[in-house]
Structure 1
């Protein structure tokens, strides 16, 4: 039985008064900002392209691929953290927010990248990590040394028990184990505990401290002044902690985002983002924010999008939905109704650096419900993956979301049809999830494997010819099957499908208003966006199409006038 997804009627109060709405629709108009219908390409810089030959992706490699990104047709790139970091969590443990990780290059190279991307018509969005710093950050090192002002920037608490030997509360780290680590005093005696909702190397900041608030507003200005066009906000729902840090009780972990947890989504985050919005609004053109906010409902998500807060937020329901037309329609309806009530822009995404690539999610039998723990990589271990089927479904799903109004985020390599690499050797894994989380979670390395660009050698073009360094994560033996160089010359490749879809999206949907469903059933979802209809068939039998010109199809094995199983098409009615 298919579970219905309830649509929301919102009653959202913002700083200016009350904003209410239901399922009224707001589409981009000719005066909409650039991000309202942009296609943004996520660059996981460590795995994108290696220009130096040491096996680690870097700014030189990214700069060399700007023409590729321009040819693909993206409007912007979002770069995962490129700051100096010990890499305890792939750069999300930041040691210095105003510089570049030496493995990636220099600040001068970052300035060149910004200029070259802008010259190619590509905006640049950076990742900012405000919930926590690295334990190597100068502030935290000073805190450990006893500097009281520095300690006040983090969340230190005395322990419970006669000797303070018990954690201050029962919160668990999202990576597994307690969310608290005990420190030693300068004299070597046991001291207080500090909070870390992620790895112990990532101490949480105290956003009640005005020094923290001022520091991050200054960090925003530092990068905006250099020409950065916006920020993706890591753990946007986590900055504000409740007074007293109450126990979670029966809530067993931080990853159950459909269940409220005292660590997440507290009201204090909204005042923080009102301050950030004032910073962004001081620039011309205006800079943009996109929130990574895992919250229990789209109604809660809409609160981040009030007119004086953030511009956009990731809508993650496609990451959790099966390849099923009725579910996918419900995702669209729910997201559009919610965001319209807040006056914001919908944001669609199928994959990112934290979840199983959607080719592999679609390569096995599909559940009849939403999957909450999208990072549970062991849930399919007894079912072989049919990668050919996964690629076919992924082509269709990508065309479906690229036809929707709103912002689309692509994860690097999805335009090549890359699957998850599920057999990374244990000794090569680097994700702290693999090291920390109980129950044998193999972690996120499988979606972070360096890209196969083509060429000779084991690195399949990831590193320059003659490079001595091996890719920082091993590429599988079959990776060359997906390489970009070969796909360039194949008119039916995933790469050329994406190029065609992005070109048509820009030609057909730019500044277009109007959205309506034209056909829906258990297996078929079809909508009209402007003058174009987008049809998706997730079933196992062909579906008759209405008359009209097929502009683009994800598969080429249907009879004329029919949409093949597990495929999508864009058409203009006659």
Structure 2
């Protein structure tokens, strides 16, 4: 084992390396739930600046900020009213600049979320569109259509939105606008050159302020074919099985023309700005988003939608390393984020088998959910934390989560971590309806529990009000058990999950090797073992019975190892 508080990296350690992102550990911050510096119950930009020493001690290479822009919070900030400003509840542009400087001084890169598929209904352009006549240039920035029926009282199609309910909303003059997500999120018309030019200005605005990279929200949905007659919802669902670019709004080939233009802009900076696509597409189509002529990297969410089994993990790794090689990018590895149930909880719930999430986010894929076994609440427990507490084995879930994390951090490629996973946080399932804000819940009350359970503010101090997140009541109250996993209860503690993450991330830097691995035949279907080119060996036991470890020095393990035998649901690193 190594010391639990690794030394901080030099601020210049990655500053000039154009390939810093290829094997970086990126920490996702959900700003409203990270840390509140001004005591209003809502996390803010100054709160992130305050916690830069924590992030440096953790050992990550970069932070990714979920949206911090002015927003009505119809979708947790993903309804953006102004793409080139900071929500005044979270701070100012000066606060953003101070945060960026502090992170850079700590040797960390800054990645921000860009939401190009849709804006907030409060965006100045959409407000202008509502006040403008049909067929006007202002309306052409969005997708307006006449309705059907005698007086246009019926929507242009029967499409349903990702968050539930109709995908069309009528405006006072009788026309309808498209919103693939919430009605407060009207979709942009990316056939409009003004839209394309304005997003280039946004990307330049943040790049000029020192942002190092971008995470592109719903990257696969920008280009749409809305030729008449529009297909029915039933036809839309059938199209999702084609994976050939023919879907009217998911993963159309022409979307890559947009990203080629973005790449030209990114490459004007030194080092070039990076980008990673959130593209819930079939694995055979993912590599196109990750080429050097496009965004450069694409999220691989496969580990988010599979059980804790050796076969599934091995298949996912092989497939995604092959995709990375084909695109010239590095792979990305994700176990938790702001859209899904935390992996410590997923791994403690009944197994459901691999899910094909297709084009939608996992929490919103009704087709996939219908395939789930009937456990807990309407068969959606695994995805939506709707199972009763009796179905969740918390201890097993955390044990598997720690093992999966060490497995993932040993892989070649970049690792994306979600705030709080370093504390071993479970999903918070018991949230009062009045405290929930996720549109997946508000538009489907009683059917979907939504994503608020992974967005509860972080616990910093076990003994403080709001567990140290704020001096005021937090915007989502935390459960009492947060005291046991607060930062104050784990920092410097030998066997804590926080210490494990610190040790793993420090070791990962010292052991990092070329982006290759060699599989070792373990002769055991429950055990995976691979070796990196420098001899760094990763062994994960997905089973229950302990197994003999290969020769070598154990430098880190997710549980205590005695007599050279690795217990079940555990990972060890050897050199």
TM-score, scaled to structure 2: 0.89
Indicate the residue corresponding to 1:529 in structure 2. Answer: 532
Matched, 1:150 2:115: no
Alignment partners' CA distance in 2, 1:31 and 1:80:
24
Alignment partners' CA distance in 2, 1:39 and 1:228:
17
Matched, 1:226 2:209: yes
Alignment partners' CA distance in 2, 1:313 and 1:237:
11
Alignment partners' CA distance in 2, 1:444 and 1:178:
20
Matched, 1:564 2:567: yes
Q: Deviations over 1:67-100 (max 9, x none)?
A: 0000100000000001001111111000001110
Q: How does 1:344-493 map to 2 (within 5 A)?
A: 344-370=329-355, 372=357, 374-375=362-363, 378=377, 379-380=380-381, 381-382=387-388, 384-437=391-444, 440-463=447-470, 467=471, 469-493=472-496
Alignment partners' CA distance in 1, 2:306 and 2:172:
46
Task: Identify the structure with bigger relative contact order (alpha carbons < 8 Å, sequence gap 6+).
Answer: 1
- Structure 1: gaps of 5 or more residues: 1-29, 186-190
Q: How does 1:205-354 map to 2 (within 5 A)?
A: 205-244=188-227, 246-251=230-235, 261-295=247-281, 297-354=282-339
Residues 67 and 258 of structure 1: is their aligned pair in 2 closer, same or farther, counting only changes over 3 Å? farther
- Residue 517 (structure 2) aligned to one of 515, 518, 523: 515
Indicate the residue corresponding to 2:543 in structure 1. Answer: 539
Q: Determine if contact 1:526/1:536 at 8 Å carries over to the other structure.
A: yes
- Residue 548 (structure 1) aligned to one of 552, 557, 569: 552
Residues 171 and 391 of structure 1: is their aligned pair in 2 closer, same or farther, counting only changes over 3 Å? same
Alignment partners' CA distance in 1, 2:46 and 2:547:
47
Residues 537 and 450 of structure 1: is their aligned pair in 2 closer, same or farther, counting only changes over 3 Å? same
- Residue 502 (structure 1) aligned to one of 497, 501, 505: 505
Indicate the residue corresponding to 1:12 in structure 2. Answer: none
Describe the SS at the equivalent of 1:42: strand
- Residue 178 (structure 1) aligned to one of 152, 156, 166: 166
Q: Deviations over 1:267-316 (max 9, x none)?
A: 22110101100110011111000000001x22201111223111111000
Residues 248 and 351 of structure 1: is their aligned pair in 2 closer, same or farther, counting only changes over 3 Å? farther
Farther-moved stretch of structure 1 (272-281 vs 236-245): 236-245
Residues 170 and 220 of structure 1: is their aligned pair in 2 closer, same or farther, counting only changes over 3 Å? same
Residues 256 and 474 of structure 1: is their aligned pair in 2 closer, same or farther, counting only changes over 3 Å? farther
Alignment partners' CA distance in 2, 1:198 and 1:551:
46
> Shift of residue 560 of structure 1?
1.4
Q: Determine if contact 2:277/2:295 at 8 Å carries over to the other structure.
A: yes
Alignment partners' CA distance in 1, 2:456 and 2:398:
18
Matched, 1:111 2:123: no
Q: How many residues align?
A: 531
Residues 484 and 200 of structure 1: is their aligned pair in 2 closer, same or farther, counting only changes over 3 Å? same
Alignment partners' CA distance in 2, 1:389 and 1:483:
20
Alignment partners' CA distance in 1, 2:323 and 2:139:
40
> Shift of residue 495 of structure 1?
0.3
Residues 192 and 386 of structure 1: is their aligned pair in 2 closer, same or farther, counting only changes over 3 Å? same
> Shift of residue 152 of structure 1?
0.7
> Shift of residue 513 of structure 1?
4.7
> Shift of residue 252 of structure 1?
6.5
Residues 248 and 535 of structure 1: is their aligned pair in 2 closer, same or farther, counting only changes over 3 Å? farther
Indicate the residue corresponding to 1:139 in structure 2. Answer: 125
Q: Determine if contact 2:300/2:333 at 8 Å carries over to the other structure.
A: yes
- Residue 73 (structure 1) aligned to one of 46, 59, 63: 59
Describe the SS at the equivalent of 1:60: helix
Alignment partners' CA distance in 2, 1:240 and 1:472:
36
Describe the SS at the equivalent of 1:278: helix
> Shift of residue 167 of structure 1?
1.3
Q: Determine if contact 2:314/2:528 at 8 Å carries over to the other structure.
A: yes
TM-score, scaled to structure 1: 0.89
Alignment partners' CA distance in 2, 1:344 and 1:364:
34
Alignment partners' CA distance in 1, 2:155 and 2:338:
31
Output the aligned Cα RMSD: 1.9
Indicate the residue corresponding to 1:167 in structure 2. Answer: 155
